[in-house]
Structure 1
Amino acid sequence: MQFQISSELIDKIKFLVAEGNNEELLLHLEDVHHADIAEIITELSLEEATYVVKLLDSQKTAEALMELEEGVRERILETLSAKEIAEELEEMDTDDAADIISELSPERQQNVIAELVDEEHADNIVELLRYDEDSAGGLMAKELVKVNENWSVTGCMKEMREQAENVTRVHSIYVVDDKQKLKGRLSLKDLLTAPSHANISDVYIPQVDFVNVHTEGDEVARIMQKYDLEAIPVVDEMGRLVGRITIDDIVDFIKEEAEKDYQMASGISESVEADDSLLRLTRARLPWLVLGLFGGLGSVYIMKGFEEALEQFPVLFFFTPLIAAMAGNVGVQSSAIIVQGLANDNLRGSLLQRLIKEVGLSLINGISLGVLVILFGLLVGQDQMVSFTIAASLLSVIIVAALVGTFVPIILNKQGIDPAIATGPFITTSNDIFGIFLFFYISKLMLGF
C-alpha cells in the first residue's frame, strides 16, 4: 500500500517534535521513503524541519534534502553547522553534493569542504564546482564503474565489486586504457559469458556515445533522448573518462530548464519561487511589466493619432481589444511552436519555406476568422463596410503577428539569446502595437476618413 501523508500524520510529527519524543518520532519515520520525508519536512516550520533533519540518519536526510525545493533547502542549510552539512554531503553522490555546496556562500563552502572526512570525495566535489552548472561537467557525477582494457575477466569482476560499493546504480561499465582514456563500454552479458582467462580488450564494445565536460546541458539531453541512453560518459579535453551523467540527472536539468523557460515566457526575468522574498519577486516581474506599460502607452498614442476616425466611426473603438487580443494570441502561438522546435532541434527547412508556410497558414486562419466577423456583423445589423474593414484588418494583423512570432525567436536564437523570451510579453506587446496601428491604418484606407 502506498504511503499517505495526512494532516493527522503532520500534526502527530509536530506534536512529537514539540514534546522532544525522539524515540516515537524515529519509529514513525523509520521506514518512510526519503521523498516522503522531504514532503513532510515541507509541511513543517523551519525549526521543526531542522529538528527532524538533525535527528534522522544522514543517509536518509541527505536524499531527502535533494528532493526539497531549493528555497526550503537553503533555509534549512542556514540552520546547520558546517560539520552537520558535511555529514550530509558524505552520503551524497558527488554531483548532488556539488549542487548543495554551490548554494552556500564562498566562506561557508570552504568551511564545509574542510569538514569532509573523505578527502577523495572532497576533491571530486571541488573539481565539479569548477564547471559551469549547465555543462556536462557540472551535471556529471564522479561515481562510476570502469575497467582497464588489459585486465582479465576474473580480475575485472573483483575490481567491479569494489567500485560498485560507491555507485548507487550501475547503468554501464566503461573501458579505459592505461592513460584513463575512454575506449568503449562493456556488456554485462558478454562479461559473464566470456572465458575467465580472456582480457577485457577481447570482449568490450568500442562504440560508445560520450560528451565533453564543456558540452552544453541542452546538447547532452538531446543526445541522451535521441539514443535512448540511461547514462552517458563524460571525458575531458584529453579524452580521459572523468564522470558520467545519468538519466535522473538529465531529467532534473530538463525540468529546471522548462521551469525557467515557462517563467521567462510569462514575463519573469529570473528563476523565482512563490515563497521567495518580496524584493526578489519584484525584481523578476517588474521589468516586463514596465515593457508592457510602455507598449500600452504606445498603443494609446497610436489611437490618439486616429482620433478623427473614432469620432466618425465610434464602433471601431469597441473592436480595438479584439484586434489587440488576436494579434497577441497569434504571435504567442507562432513563437511557442518555433521555440519548441528550436529546443528539440527539429526545426527543418529554409527561412523561405517557413515564410511561405506561415503566410499560408495565416491566410487560412485570417480568412476563416474574417468570415465569422462578417457573419457577426450581419446578425447584429452592423454596417457591412465596417464589417469588411474589421475582417480585412484582422487578416492583416494575423499575418503580421504570425511572421513576428515566427522570426523573432529564430533571430534571437541566432544571436545567442534564449528564444523563450519571445513567447511572453515581448511578442504580446509588440504585436499589440502593430495590430492597433494596422487596424486604424486599414480602416482609414477603406472607410476614407
Structure 2
Amino acid sequence: MIPFKLTDELVDKIQVLIKNQNDEQLRLLMKEYHYADVAEIANELQGDEATYLIKLLDSEKTSDILTELDEDVREEILNNLSPKEIAGEIEELDTDDAADIVGELPKELIQEVISNIEDKEHAKYIVDLLRYDDDSAGGLMAKELVKVNENWTVTTCVKEMRAQAENVTRVHSIYVVDNEEKLKGRLSLKDLLTVSTETYISEVYIPKVDYVTANEKPEEVAKIMSKYDLEAIPVVDEIGRLVGRITIDDIVDVIKEEADKDYQLAAGISQDVEADDSIWELTRARLPWLILGLFGGGAAAVIMGGFEDMFSKYTVLFLFTPLIAAMAGNVGVQSSAIIVQGLANDDIKGSVGNRLIKEMLLALLNGVILAALLLLFTWFWKGSFNTALAISVSLIVVIVVAGFIGTFTPLFLHKRGIDPAIATGPFITTSNDIFGILIYFWIAKMILGI
C-alpha cells in the first residue's frame, strides 16, 4: 500500500469538483481514500466545502471522518448540520467516539441530538458515558463488548455471543459476569470450542483477568495495558460490575496526547496548543515561562553585580560565566529528563535518597572529567594555575548541584501530584543558571582570596 500524501494539486482538484457540484466524480475520488486520509483533506478545505463533502458521502464513512478531523473543523461542520443529521453520524460510531463528539456540542443541542438517535440503546449508552469525567477510564471506554453469564451453557453462550457481536467492531475478549453483572473472568475461545455444548461457562472460564475501575486515570490505564501487552481491558464500577472496555487504539491516543503535553511543558509551553492556533493563544501558552526566564536573567545579573570587584582583577572569570551557566542548565535538564522518563514509564524504583545519591555520584564523575579538561585548557590559555583551579573546582560543584536539582525537582513534583515534565524545561534551566553563577563566583572568590 502506497502511503497517502496530501498535495496542493489534490486539494485544488477537490475544491473545483465541489464548486462545480460534480458529485459523482467526487464520490468516485473519495472512494479511493481511507477515512483518515479524507479527514486530512477536509482539514485543508473551507468550512462550507468540508460540510459539502461530509453531506455528500455515506454516513458509514463520514462518521469515522468526523473523529479524525481537527476540533475547529469538526465544530464548524457540526454547526452546519441539523440535529437529525448529527444523530445519523453518531449512530454509526462506537459509543466512546460518539460520546466524545456529543460532548463537544453546545448543551442546548445535546438533548436534541440524543432524541434523534433511532437506536435507543445506543443513545442510552452515550448518555451513560457523558456522565464520566473526560480524564478517567470511564470517559475513555466504549460500551460495546461481548459478555456471557457464568450460569449459561456453551450452547446459550454461543447464541448470545452471535447477537452481541453484531454491534462490536472487533472482539478482543469474551468477559464472564455473574447474575449481578459483576466481572468474574474471561473466556477462551479455544476452551469454548473444545468442550461439550452442555458444559456451563462457570466450569471453563478463566478467573484471572486484568481490569481497571471507571475512575482510574487514563495514564494509569496506559501503563497497565503496556505492561501486560493488552489489546483491550475491561472497566468495572465501584462494586465490580462490568461497565465497558478500553481498546488499544484509544490508549495510543492517550499516550500521544501525554507525550505532546510533556514535550510542550519541557519546551516551556504551559498549555496544550497547536501551530494553527491564534497568536493570542500561542502567546498565553509561551509567555509565562519567558517571563520566568526574564526574571531569572535579572537575578543572575544582580548576583554578578555583587562580584564587580572580581571582574576588574580577574576578567577571565567573566569570560567563563556563559560556560558555567550552560553546563549547569545542560546537566540539570539531562538529570530531570531521565527522571521524568522513568516516572512516566513507572521505572523509578527504590528510595528517593538512593536515587539522589546515584545521580550526584554520576554528576561528580562527569564533573571531575570535564573540570580536568577545563583546568588544562585554562591553565595553558591564561597561564594562571590558581585561576584555572578556581574555575574548574567551581564547575565540579556546579555540576553536582545541578544534578541534585534536576533529580530532586521532578521527584518532588511527582510526590505532590504535579506533572514533573515542567522540570525539564525553562524552570530547571533558569534555576540552575542562578545557582550555578552564584556558586561559581562564591567558590572563585574563596580560592583566589579576593
- TM-score tier, shorter chain, comes to over 0.9
1:292–1:104 CA distance, 2 compared to 1 (3 A): farther
> Where does 1:75-114 land on structure 2 (aligned, <5 Å)?
75-114=76-115
User: 1:75-115: per-residue Cα shift (whole Å, max 9, x none)?
Assistant: 43333333332222111111111111222332333333233
Superposition TM-score, scaled by structure 2 size? 0.96
Tell whether the 8 Å contact from 1:71 to 1:273 is kept in structure 2 after alignment. Answer: no
Q: Give the corresponding residue for 2:334.
A: 333
Q: Give the corresponding residue for 1:245.
A: 246
- Higher mean displacement: 319-328 or 38-47: 38-47
User: 1:132-185: per-residue Cα shift (whole Å, max 9, x none)?
Assistant: 212111111000001111112112112111111111100001111111111111
Superposition TM-score, scaled by structure 1 size? 0.96
Q: Residue type of the partner of 1:335?
A: S
Segments of structure 2 that go 5 or more residues without pairing to the other structure are none
Q: Residue type of the partner of 2:228?
A: Y
Q: Give the corresponding residue for 2:116.
A: 115
SS in 1 for 2:235: strand
Q: Give the corresponding residue for 2:4.
A: 4
Q: Give the corresponding residue for 2:316.
A: 315
CA distance in 2, matches of 1:79, 1:162: 36
User: 1:170-213: per-residue Cα shift (whole Å, max 9, x none)?
Assistant: 00011111111111111111111221122212221111111111
SS in 2 for 1:234: strand
Tell whether the 8 Å contact from 1:94 to 1:143 is kept in structure 2 after alignment. Answer: yes
Tell whether the 8 Å contact from 1:146 to 1:160 is kept in structure 2 after alignment. Answer: yes
Tell whether the 8 Å contact from 1:334 to 1:402 is kept in structure 2 after alignment. Answer: yes
User: 1:385-406: per-residue Cα shift (whole Å, max 9, x none)?
Assistant: 2222211111111100110010
SS in 2 for 1:410: helix
CA distance in 1, matches of 2:448, 2:117: 79
**Shift in Å, 1:361:** 0.5
> Where does 1:173-322 land on structure 2 (aligned, <5 Å)?
173-322=174-323
User: 1:337-368: per-residue Cα shift (whole Å, max 9, x none)?
Assistant: 11111111111122221122112101111011
Give the share of equivalent positions with the same residue, in percent.
Answer: 64
SS in 2 for 1:195: coil
> Is 1:15 matched with 2:19?
no
SS in 2 for 1:243: strand
User: 1:243-297: per-residue Cα shift (whole Å, max 9, x none)?
Assistant: 0011111111111111111111111111111111222222111111111111111
Q: Give the corresponding residue for 1:419.
A: 420
- Higher mean displacement: 163-172 or 152-161: 152-161
Moved over 4 A (4+): none
SS in 2 for 1:371: helix
Q: Residue type of the partner of 1:91?
A: E
1:215–1:333 CA distance, 2 compared to 1 (3 A): same
Segments of structure 1 that go 5 or more residues without pairing to the other structure are none
- Higher mean displacement: 58-67 or 230-239: 58-67
Tell whether the 8 Å contact from 1:144 to 1:170 is kept in structure 2 after alignment. Answer: yes
Tell whether the 8 Å contact from 2:325 to 2:433 is kept in structure 1 after alignment. Answer: yes
SS in 2 for 1:143: coil
- Higher mean displacement: 118-127 or 371-380: 371-380
CA distance in 2, matches of 1:103, 1:60: 20
- Higher mean displacement: 283-292 or 81-90: 81-90
Q: Residue type of the partner of 2:273?
A: V
Q: Give the corresponding residue for 2:353.
A: 352
CA distance in 2, matches of 1:174, 1:42: 39
Tell whether the 8 Å contact from 2:300 to 2:433 is kept in structure 1 after alignment. Answer: yes
Q: Give the corresponding residue for 1:385.
A: 386
Tell whether the 8 Å contact from 1:5 to 1:40 is kept in structure 2 after alignment. Answer: no
Tell whether the 8 Å contact from 1:124 to 1:142 is kept in structure 2 after alignment. Answer: yes
Tell whether the 8 Å contact from 2:6 to 2:41 is kept in structure 1 after alignment. Answer: no
> Is 1:406 matched with 2:407?
yes
